[in-house]
Structure 1
Amino acid sequence: MAAVTESEVARSFSKIGEDPADKDFVGKCVSLCQRFSLSAGDLADHWESFAVNHDGSRLGMSSWAGFETEVAKSKVAASTPTSSAGTASRPSAASRSSSRPSSASIVTPRPAGRRVVNTVTLEDLASSGTKRPMLPFSSPDPKARSKLARQDGEGEDGASLSPTSVQSPPDLVRAVYSSRKNAGQKTASFNPALGLRGLSVAPSPRQAGTRCDVVVDGAVGAPERYRYMYTPLDERAAALEKGLVALQDQMERRLGLTEITPVGVPRQEQVVAVGRVCCESTEGKINRASILLEGSRRDSSGQRVHLDLRELQTFALFPGQVVAVQGVNGSGGRMVARGIIDGVPRPLPSSRPSDLLRAQHGAELGGGKALSIFAAAGPFTTSDSLVYEPLNDLLGAVRAARPDVVVLMGPFVDAEHPKVASGDATIECVDGGSESVDFETLFRLRLSEKLDTLFADDRDLPTQFVLVPSLRDVFHEFVYPQPPFHDRVEGGVELGVGAYPEERMFVLDVPKTGARTTSGGGGAAARHKRVHLAPNPAWLRVNEVMIGVSSTDALFDLSGEEVSAGGKGTNRLARLAGHLLQQQSFYPLFPPPAGSAAQLDMRHAHRWGMPATPDVLLVPSRLAQFARQVQGCLCVNPGQLSKGMGGGTYAELAVHPIPQETLAKKQKELADKPDATIEHDVAKRTCVEIRRI
């Protein structure tokens, strides 16, 4: 690989919110990259993992020794073979029973010769005497885990004595997550004075104790599966044209731009032209010298002009951005820009005061309490195992705090996980062995069954879950927008194979319903969803709060493609999030950068547009986690639940109600206007804390 330079190292660290001012530190980083054949981006990822697991160590020579040791350990662990040479056998479904063990025994009875996955209930723990198997919602003890992982024929030191056995990672590697000392530490906050009150409340009698309505809007994202790799060039061009014209019309109407000059028409006086930012070259990144403005086919016949930015002190541009440029285009081929309007956000959501009173202070819903929301993004397991310890700990936090809603954003089975990428998806069995499983079964065992156990052990739990897929989920469609997870095809036929329920393969088994409740009108029994399957991107309504979600890392892609100047004194992460709002899109970048996970189906480009500026925008990213108010919207990057072999972060939100007296006063003032609405002002009344898992 090409030699890494100091500028590349500095640029990679700046992308994760670090400022490597120490030149000695940067020089040592270059040497470290050469020694271990690392790219600058890989080194920045190593630093993020190191900082998370060492109480937020500061970048500099004071932390160099520990950082160098951590990188060396990870490279040694990566070079340790995880399986012996040979042909991979077909995964067997015989041992992957989805039924929960009875309270009389920790191990489900099984036919001879089968291995059974170690699934444990609370009743099992109570009846197991002094033997304490792995708790379902807490990190297992490293010593106990190493015993479970030891294969038949292995010695006490873990060395493989059989040429066909699967070796366990070294204890040093497996213990990195379990030995972290900063669990629960707060890394960022927003409106801390409000506090996270309301996380533990008495359950409501409606909907098995749930305190809120959760609705997934089918107009955003792909509501169902569709055919992709089927978009002709003319349809892609039509989709780009439609998006440009729609945003141009909104800018004209809302900003009062009465006279728009077509792009490419020469004018000696100052004019305003609207178009899409693009690069002069079909490959490579834009820079100040290569930026073009492309007009619409409707108004400009698709003409392009060079943008001269020398007279601008401040700007932030990226490919695909729709902008209005004020300037002079004397020759018709080069426009000297003197001002740029980078889009216009949609209006914020609003509701009638009577509806807000019912949602926030009604006995059936809010009851005057704060609405509590957890948000976490994958990967949900560390890079050295498929045990999903961070997810276990997150579910333990859910059990303790009892939030109203938990939004889980993929990847759940990460295609970039070393074991998944190599096809070595194995699970540990109670008899001490390992068994290969398909990726859907891995999801079922590590997530679906744990949610089932969570609801079974606490039937009064008020929490509802929302699962949003990721383009990196190895078993799911990999185009944007993504449909929700599914177990059925059109017509209701179940997916998966296997003659018996315990032998099913390729099935997710997501628990979608909770306990039965009695509804009005004859007392008919009904089931209410406790786990909601949402597309990517997704538009959620939780009571009155509108939440936009996209698990695709648009912020990271934008950070690498944006060219800007004069940003001193402004927050770069907030500016990147603002691009999404200004462009009214969950992914405004076009084309996506090389190597990005974003595979766009342009026929469905309208489905990653924003119908309004959301009250809360969840944008998980590899960049530094944050919570900020941007143009009236609360933008939150909860970070990743795991980073490398270490733990990551998740976000807790508490949306406090508007005072009942204020809403009653507004309702009285608008009595003669029954359809009048007021903005939700969610950002002003929400406390956010981002914590380490």
Structure 2
Amino acid sequence: MEDQIRAEFRKNNFVLVEEEEILQKCLTFCINYNLSPSDLVSSWDLYSINRQLELTVSDAHMDAFGQQLQSEQKQAIVEKEQGPHSYTDVTMEIDDEHEDSKEVVPTSPVAQNVVNLESFDVTPITNGKMHSLGKPLELVTPFGQRKDKFVVHSTLNNLPTVHEIKNEHGEENSDDDVIKRVQPIKRCSLEIHGSQPAPGCRYMYDRIEDKFNHLEDRIMKYSEALVASQLYDELVDPSVASQKTIFTVGMICCEEEGRLKEKPIMLQSSVEHSGGQRVRLEMQKLEQFSIFPGQVVGVEGHNPSGHCLIATKIVDYVPLSVPDDDTFRQTNRQAMDQDNQPADSSDISSDLSLIVASGPFTTTDNLFFEPLSDLLAYAQRKQPQLLVLLGPFIDSEHPEIKKGALSKTYDELFHLEVLKRLQDYVEYMGSAARVILVPSVRDAHHDHAFPQPAFDINLADINDQITCITNPGIISANKVKVGCCSVDVLKQLSTDVVSRGIKNRMNTLTNHLLSQRSFYPLYPPAEDTPVDFSLAPEAFQMSVIPDVLIVPSDLTQFVKVLSLEGSSEAKCICVNPGRLARGEGGGHFVELNFHGSPDSSSASVIRI
């Protein structure tokens, strides 16, 4: 088994420093936790991505890795038993390891310091001694036992709102002092770009033809973009034997079912250039690459035998030959406040303050939605122009919902516990406040298909303040383009990607979405993601590179400024807000202030 473990590490491009010690410990892990070598290496892959480690495996990390495996085994046993009040607190180790947290945002001057923003109690909505769901109210829950209510976990550039906490004498301000100093917010403009799929659409009717058309369309659009850039030679059939250097475009494929491996890798070209044939892709001459199944790439190389294309260069990004704004104007867009739009769009400032949070919004031991209440109370103090909430709201993975013991329907629970709180929030904040809701495939009360239509909430009184968009979706607020996708595509990419010579793997994973111009470039999709290819072509495509890309994930939360490949000027702020609730404890959310460009903007990841 040691040889198998060594081979699995090498297949995934990991280098073992102290080989004998590492293999001995890994063998013990496999025996104790009943893991196969491939499962063990997959767990290490996820562990190393979370901590932004290099591809070098060191014995110094084995003890912490073993503790994580032990925690995962305990959690699996607890979930299997499904006993009452037996849920454990699933918190990320990064909460207690400041040496790892500083790696989340390398540019942060205070990333390794945690700053206590404020402490105030927020009690759940109750009716007397009974919870709104008819359950007895527990006066103290594990979530309510937190000592520090809001703590800055890491920052990007600087966060001006932190300085509001102290007054001239270095003492904490009272609530009244802060309220007096906070200026009324200005209502932001809002446009929704793209409205597919529409509410009430038919899904689960996709055919093989739909899958073929989707993939072929991606390859053809990529090919047309490369030809239009005039940077590369004319595209040719990669399956034809040739001693000359050729350039072709195709999609990365697996030769067999399962995870992508470095050998063999197949390249499927378009029907127009090769009749859709596949050819084996050899990448031994490349010092650096990062590929995954479904990725469309340009390949420069030669095929002397007609059976194997030997690559000398991989082009994995679309050149920015056409300005984004030209394409952006042609996309379907819906203005949400036409009456309040200025006559000249240039009058709108490119400044935007927003708070971003992703579900679950309640802890696993109850359905009080205490984290959501705390988040809204924090937003009332900070007064962001935009509050972006991504599902799941009614989490189908919640233990109480899994047991099916609720006395209310999922829709009633959503309206009572989520929409009622949001209504109170916007009424308190006034007409300038806006809320964006993005559904999730884990929402028990919504369509189980990806891409997803928007929620149909029908709130006539405040319909212009609470806006529902599709998943994925793009909005424009104060000319700031914000893209949202609640599916954990980063985690799914991390398990399927094959790379060599990549230093910052998290940046590379996020950049794949931007370089492929797709919210979900994986094919075949993950087993737990119900992709409907009859709805996918328009919904998955990024018609424009967003200024802010929100991609919640179970991986380490972060806020990063990424430069698009092929252009040093085009940049994007990529945000993983983490989960607002983790187990019986709190999680994280992000506060972001956009000022004209990503480089001049500030943000912070806050632990709740």
Counterpart of 1:51?
93
CA distance in 2, matches of 1:39, 1:562: 31
Deviations 1:210-245 (A, max 9, x none): 52111112x254233311121221232122111210
Alpha-carbon distance change, 147 to 58 in structure 1, aligned in 2, over 3 angstroms: farther
Letter of the structure 2 residue corresponding to residue 310 of structure 1: Q
Alpha-carbon distance change, 256 to 602 in structure 1, aligned in 2, over 3 angstroms: farther
Deviation at 1:440, TM superposition (A): 0.5
Kindly indicate whether residue 521 of structure 2 is the aligned counterpart of residue 588 of structure 1: yes
CA distance in 2, matches of 1:46, 1:271: 56
Alpha-carbon distance change, 338 to 389 in structure 1, aligned in 2, over 3 angstroms: same
Alignment of 1:464-543 (within 5 A): 464-487=434-457, 511=459, 513-514=461-462, 529-543=464-478
Kindly indicate whether residue 150 of structure 2 is the aligned counterpart of residue 184 of structure 1: yes
Q: TM-score, normalised by structure 2?
A: 0.75
Alignment of 1:278-297 (within 5 A): 278-281=253-256, 283-297=257-271
CA distance in 2, matches of 1:356, 1:513: 27
Deviations 1:255-283 (A, max 9, x none): 522321212111112111110000000x2
3-state SS of 1:175 partner = coil
Contact 1:33–1:39 (8 Å) recurs in 2? no
3-state SS of 1:590 partner = coil
Q: TM-score, normalised by structure 1?
A: 0.67
CA distance in 1, matches of 2:301, 2:129: 71
Contact 2:46–2:495 (8 Å) recurs in 1? no
Deviation at 1:461, TM superposition (A): 5.6
Counterpart of 2:290?
316
Counterpart of 2:35?
4
Kindly indicate whether residue 196 of structure 2 is the aligned counterpart of residue 215 of structure 1: no
CA distance in 1, matches of 2:352, 2:397: 35
In structure 2, which of residues 411, 425, 446 is the aligned counterpart of residue 454 of structure 1?
425
CA distance in 2, matches of 1:530, 1:26: 46
Deviation at 1:646, TM superposition (A): 1.2
In structure 2, which of residues 55, 60, 63 is the aligned counterpart of residue 24 of structure 1?
63
CA distance in 1, matches of 2:495, 2:282: 21
Contact 1:471–1:480 (8 Å) recurs in 2? yes
CA distance in 2, matches of 1:48, 1:336: 46
CA distance in 2, matches of 1:655, 1:586: 22
Counterpart of 1:389?
370
CA distance in 1, matches of 2:411, 2:449: 18
Counterpart of 1:644?
583
Counterpart of 1:140?
123
CA distance in 2, matches of 1:575, 1:512: 43
Contact 2:292–2:522 (8 Å) recurs in 1? yes
Alpha-carbon distance change, 150 to 192 in structure 1, aligned in 2, over 3 angstroms: closer
Alpha-carbon distance change, 345 to 616 in structure 1, aligned in 2, over 3 angstroms: farther
Letter of the structure 1 residue corresponding to residue 91 of structure 2: S
3-state SS of 1:684 partner = strand
In structure 2, which of residues 479, 491, 496 is the aligned counterpart of residue 556 of structure 1?
491
Alpha-carbon distance change, 385 to 151 in structure 1, aligned in 2, over 3 angstroms: closer
Which 5+ residue runs of structure 2 have no aligned equivalent? 1-31, 80-86, 101-119, 165-178, 330-342, 565-570
Deviation at 1:168, TM superposition (A): 8.6
CA distance in 1, matches of 2:214, 2:352: 38
Kindly indicate whether residue 575 of structure 2 is the aligned counterpart of residue 575 of structure 1: no
Alpha-carbon distance change, 167 to 12 in structure 1, aligned in 2, over 3 angstroms: farther
Contact 1:452–1:511 (8 Å) recurs in 2? no
CA distance in 2, matches of 1:338, 1:545: 39
Counterpart of 2:239?
264
Counterpart of 2:47?
13
Alignment of 1:134-283 (within 5 A): 139-140=122-123, 148=130, 175-192=141-158, 202-203=183-184, 210-217=186-193, 219=194, 221-254=196-229, 256-281=231-256, 283=257
Counterpart of 1:545?
480
Alpha-carbon distance change, 342 to 18 in structure 1, aligned in 2, over 3 angstroms: closer
Kindly indicate whether residue 304 of structure 2 is the aligned counterpart of residue 338 of structure 1: no
Contact 1:251–1:343 (8 Å) recurs in 2? no
Deviation at 1:147, TM superposition (A): 6.0
Letter of the structure 1 residue corresponding to residue 35 of structure 2: V
3-state SS of 1:398 partner = helix
Contact 2:318–2:516 (8 Å) recurs in 1? yes
Contact 1:220–1:610 (8 Å) recurs in 2? no
Name the stretch that deviates more: 230-239 or 613-622: 230-239
Deviation at 1:31, TM superposition (A): 5.5
Contact 1:485–1:534 (8 Å) recurs in 2? yes
3-state SS of 1:23 partner = helix
Deviation at 1:4, TM superposition (A): 3.0
Deviation at 1:8, TM superposition (A): 4.9
Deviation at 1:15, TM superposition (A): 3.9
Kindly indicate whether residue 562 of structure 2 is the aligned counterpart of residue 627 of structure 1: no
Letter of the structure 1 residue corresponding to residue 479 of structure 2: E
Deviation at 1:138, TM superposition (A): 5.2
Name the stretch that deviates more: 630-639 or 597-606: 597-606
Kindly indicate whether residue 540 of structure 2 is the aligned counterpart of residue 605 of structure 1: no
Alignment of 1:313-462 (within 5 A): 313-344=287-318, 347-349=323-325, 357-360=346-349, 370-425=351-406, 436-456=407-427, 458=428, 460=430, 462=432
Name the stretch that deviates more: 13-22 or 219-228: 13-22
Of structures 1 and 2, the larger Rg is shown by: 1
How many correspondences in the alignment? 506
Deviations 1:56-83 (A, max 9, x none): 4668xxxxxxxxxxxxxxxxxxxxxxxx
Contact 1:4–1:34 (8 Å) recurs in 2? no
Letter of the structure 1 residue corresponding to residue 347 of structure 2: R
Deviation at 1:33, TM superposition (A): 5.7
Contact 2:216–2:270 (8 Å) recurs in 1? yes
Deviations 1:369-426 (A, max 9, x none): x52111111111111111111000001011111111101111100111111122123x
Contact 1:647–1:692 (8 Å) recurs in 2? yes
Q: Once superposed, what is the RMSD of the aligned Cα atoms?
A: 3.5
Deviations 1:64-123 (A, max 9, x none): xxxxxxxxxxxxxxxxxxxxxxxxxxxxxxxxxxxxxxxxxxxxxxxxxxxxxxxxxxxx
Letter of the structure 2 residue corresponding to residue 266 of structure 1: A
Deviations 1:444-475 (A, max 9, x none): 1111111222234x263621001111111111
CA distance in 2, matches of 1:533, 1:577: 25
Counterpart of 1:155?
none
Deviation at 1:302, TM superposition (A): 0.5
Contact 2:578–2:588 (8 Å) recurs in 1? yes
Letter of the structure 2 residue corresponding to residue 11 of structure 1: D
Letter of the structure 1 residue corresponding to residue 543 of structure 2: P
CA distance in 1, matches of 2:231, 2:89: 48
